[in-house]
Structure 1
């Protein structure tokens, strides 16, 4: 019973974190309600399969998959290119499907040539610290807006929603620090249900839409056959390298939480690469949003203390099962967004502590201070840059420059490796 409840908690956490991306993208592409439901349906099934495969044969850690922020950016950029590069929204979605399938092939090739391990070595404690801090800072604005009830259609702060969100945050903190192990383990699911009840009492619950059918399988190529062109292939190649950066950071962080740094699994990154390739191919076939292992899983494990793999695999199986049942899917999708933001806020507070713990294993403090200072200033600075400033550049450059997390992390890797190289060659010359 405990394992099943743990799996249910994983399922709700996964769905709550994944539901926003397909809804936002459907709005960008002017999809009909039926097409929007199809996109949510296919994305959740793809994420469930990706998480299950990673947990079973990939990295074998309890890290759920979520819509990759980088793919989200590319979807947004391609929507703005309709009428310029693409004849219609469907043509853009067909190109994105082809791009995801190309990305899947590249993941497998990089793993085949054992390049995943080499990339993983670049993720020193300094780089992991910078990546995590930038991730937290980048998402903090979304959390605060969500908890205040601010959306694209409502730009004014909603006092009632903010108050209810703060109550959910306090409950989640209290449960997570409870001396009762049961309350601590199920703090996320209890907080979500309690928040749901609060919002229902206060009349802030969205209506649950009626489902047309009880059971539904995902459609293959729902937007038409995938399209391949030079621009999309180039975008997919660079995007894959950046996604590897995201994935390795998430795996490294979970290894720290699971206390597995002593017994290093050298094949973990290769297996994760192969599995990511399969997952991206599935996303391309189902017309879903490309996935990536989510760093927030480490905060979730730290909050609940659930380090076992079995509940996680059950959670992924439940996500797949629920996605095939539209009536159940509609109920889960009706969880008020501020509740999800409030619970995730607490989880990311835990991640601030995890990022600072990475600095404890740093040997060259002076080098870390320089790399951290430059990378954080550039990364955070780019987060404040208006999207319109780069609109005249190519899609992939726009996707990178508008992502302070990726720019800051890449700069941290380049700077640290440059300083390490300089230190080694400087020592040789002195001798």
Structure 2
């Protein structure tokens, strides 16, 4: 019996390892490429991402919310970081200056998140994220991230200007084929194959890309971790108040992930998460954000996608989750393995993640389904949606005439849309709040960030729930 339990835990731990890997590996690669870092510095980002993600999962499982929920680098933050990299020239910032300003803003947002946890401010914050706000948030986040992934599939590296960008049709065709394969495998395949569709797509696509297009330069094979603080740029490079303000706002919006992830697993664990679980989770996420600022990483948040993973595998015990986290951290400490991962083609990683984040549309539509669409609510949701999308499509040069403090904020369609949604949601005109709007938001069964609609009028205990993303 003990041997069977150990074998089951080990195999389940490997499943968690694959899940952590597929959700993490592309993020430091794309951020490093956007900042124009050399390969050895990108390898450092990958190593730090693996180690910190693995340890974050273990700490949350043991001391935080005490559930099997992946703690990883936030999709909202990721989209904002890449958007700011693309807009840096129009902001009059060098990439090291942008990195230094982001680091300071991320550290400040981490301190605020810790205070939210320690002071029990989760419930008041959650009330801001009504279904109407979250519908806009999910839709715009999906637009922004999938724009980044589609550019990667086209062979366009993050951070390139319009003059430097070159579309590579052959690379796109291969990436599109991999995306289609992963989508079909995820939908049609049985059990294990469908469960590992992302991993199969990454490894198979990587092999095909290498056979067809060759590989990048080989890693230097360094046998130690060349650790440095502020790899993207330090505070001494010069700070931009607008970028710091964006980071602080993003940190507050990012807090909604905790509500979605914990409430989404209530049904799986057969009980509601206690207020103390929310406090501990916020505190640990805040500490991780502070470390992210120092290490040049995208800040952390609980992954709502863990809900679908738990429902698919039906293994909710913490031991396999802890095993997967420890294995992932160990991989980050082995430079040979992490150096090999720097060779992952950006187009292949982008193709796999495009398939994953298409699910955000379903999450957004389910939120819209909770809103009574009278004339006032129609304007309240349509305005931030269209304004956000339009701003996303504007060249960053359009914002060069704005004051430097406002350029990063008003030049980000994602943040403009979210802030406009929050503002209009506070201004009630022409209609009163419907039950669907005011009801707490609950995650659904299945999907990466899918939500389910609870029966109208059903009340939930504090804190109220509003869901973020990745």
| Structure 2 partner of 1:170 | 180
- 1:216 aligns to what SS in structure 2? coil
- 2:428 aligns to what SS in structure 1? helix
Task: Say whether the 8 Å CA contact 2:13–2:321 is kept in structure 1.
Answer: no
| Structure 2 partner of 1:404 | 413
| Structure 2 partner of 1:23 | 32
| Structure 2 partner of 1:252 | 260
Q: Which stretch has the larger CA shift, 410-419 or 44-53? A: 44-53
When the two structures are superposed, what TM-score results if normalisation uses the length of structure 2? Answer: 0.73
Cα distance, 1:225 vs. partner?
7.9
Cα distance, 1:57 vs. partner?
4.0
- 1:64 aligns to what SS in structure 2? strand
* Alignment CA distance shift 1:420-1:208 (3 Å): farther
Q: Does 1:144 align with 2:154?
A: no
Tell me the alpha carbon deviations over residues 211-255 of structure 1, each in whole angstroms, 9 at most, x when there is no partner.
121x427345668986699965x8546632332213305742774
| Structure 1 partner of 2:388 | 379
Task: Say whether the 8 Å CA contact 1:64–1:294 is kept in structure 2.
Answer: yes
Cα distance, 1:387 vs. partner?
1.2
Q: Which stretch has the larger CA shift, 246-255 or 236-245? A: 246-255
| Structure 1 partner of 2:352 | 343
| Structure 2 partner of 1:65 | 73
| Structure 2 partner of 1:105 | 111
Task: Say whether the 8 Å CA contact 1:107–1:276 is kept in structure 2.
Answer: yes
Q: Does 1:133 align with 2:131?
A: no
Residues 30-429 of structure 1 aligned to structure 2 (within 5 Å): 33-54=39-60, 56-58=62-64, 60=67, 61-66=69-74, 68-72=78-82, 96-151=102-157, 152=160, 155-178=165-188, 180-213=190-223, 215-216=224-225, 218-220=227-229, 236=244, 239-249=247-257, 251-252=259-260, 255-256=263-264, 263=272, 265-286=274-295, 288-293=296-301, 297=305, 301=309, 308=316, 310=318, 313-363=322-372, 366-393=375-402, 397-419=406-428, 423=432
Q: Which stretch has the larger CA shift, 271-280 or 302-311? A: 302-311
When the two structures are superposed, what TM-score results if normalisation uses the length of structure 1? Answer: 0.79
Alpha-carbon separation, structure 2, partners of 1:283 and 1:132: 24
Q: Which stretch has the larger CA shift, 378-387 or 14-23? A: 14-23
Alpha-carbon separation, structure 1, partners of 2:398 and 2:17: 44
- 1:150 aligns to what SS in structure 2? coil
* Alignment CA distance shift 1:403-1:378 (3 Å): same
Tell me the alpha carbon deviations over residues 293-345 of structure 1, each in whole angstroms, 9 at most, x when there is no partner.
37684697499667847455544434422222111012122121111111112
Alpha-carbon separation, structure 2, partners of 1:137 and 1:240: 22
| Structure 1 partner of 2:448 | none
Alpha-carbon separation, structure 1, partners of 2:271 and 2:214: 48
Aligned length: 414
Q: What's the RMSD between the two structures over aligned residues?
A: 3.9
- Structure 2 segments unaligned to the other structure (5+ residues): 1-9, 434-470
* Alignment CA distance shift 1:222-1:297 (3 Å): same
- Structure 1 segments unaligned to the other structure (5+ residues): 425-431
Task: Say whether the 8 Å CA contact 1:168–1:339 is kept in structure 2.
Answer: yes
Task: Say whether the 8 Å CA contact 2:24–2:49 is kept in structure 1.
Answer: no
Task: Say whether the 8 Å CA contact 2:96–2:234 is kept in structure 1.
Answer: no
Alpha-carbon separation, structure 2, partners of 1:277 and 1:207: 37
Alpha-carbon separation, structure 1, partners of 2:277 and 2:302: 16
* Alignment CA distance shift 1:300-1:404 (3 Å): farther
Cα distance, 1:187 vs. partner?
1.4
